[in-house]
Amino acid sequence: MILETERLLLTDYKLENLDVFFKLKSCNEVWKYSTFDPLKDKDQARILLENLIDEGIDENYIYKALYKKDSMEFIGEAGIIGYITHANRCVIGYNLLPQYWNHGYATEITKNLVKYSFEFLGVERIEALALQINTASCRVLEKSGFLLEGVLRNFNKCETGYRNVCYYGMISSDFDKR
C-alpha cells in the first residue's frame, strides 16, 4: 500500500528504516505533545519497527513511513492507527520530525488519509486526537475538515500532571460536503 500526494509518499516501513525510525521515536520534541514516551535505545525501536512491519500486512492498517516525494527524505510517519470494523470507523495520526513542521506536510497527508478512509475503506467516521496544548496539531485537523467534538479533561497523565485532549471527528456526510 502506497499513498501519494503532490509532495509526499506514504509507504511501508522496512528494517532499513531503523536509524530514521529511532531518530523520530527518540526525539523529545516530537513526543512533547503526545501520549507516547520517547524511546531510549535502538533495541526498543527495532522491536517496535518489526511490529509495525508485521501489522503492515493488513491493508486496512496503514501506519507507514512518510517521505518527501522529490528527495525520498524521511520526514515522519502517518496513517491509520486504529480501524474498528464493526463500528465502521478509524482513527488517524501523524508524527513529523521538527524540521518539517509548519510546511503544510501534516495537513497534506491528513487530507489524503481522510480521502483514502472514506473512498477506499468506506468508513462512516474518522477520529483523531490531539493534546489541547498542541494548537498546531489542532489546526491541522481543523484545516483537514475535522470538527472538535469535545475535550477529554485530564485524559493524559504525564510527568507534570494531567493534560486535556481534544477529540476530533468527521463523518462521511461532512466529507461529501467538501
10-residue averages of pLDDT along the chain (178 residues): 91 94 96 88 94 71 89 96 92 97 98 95 96 96 98 91 96 87
Q: Which CATH number fits the domain 3-176, given the four candidates 3.40.50.1220, 3.60.9.10, 3.40.630.30, 3.40.50.2300?
A: 3.40.630.30
Say what the pLDDT of residue 52 is.
Answer: 83
The reported pLDDT for the residue numbered 127 is 98
pTM for this model (two decimals): 0.92
Facing residues of 68 across strands? 8, 73
Which residue stretches of 26-82 are H helix? 28-31, 42-55
Q: Which long-range contacts (CB under 8 A, 24 or more apart) does 69-76 make?
A: 69/4, 69/5, 69/6, 69/7, 69/8, 69/9, 70/7, 72/9, 74/17, 74/20, 74/24, 75/8, 75/100, 75/105, 76/24, 76/100, 76/105
Pairing label, strands 89-96, 125-131 = parallel
pLDDT for 33 equals 85
Question: Rounded to an integer, what distance in angstroms lies between the CA atom of residue 90 and that of residue 36?
Answer: 19
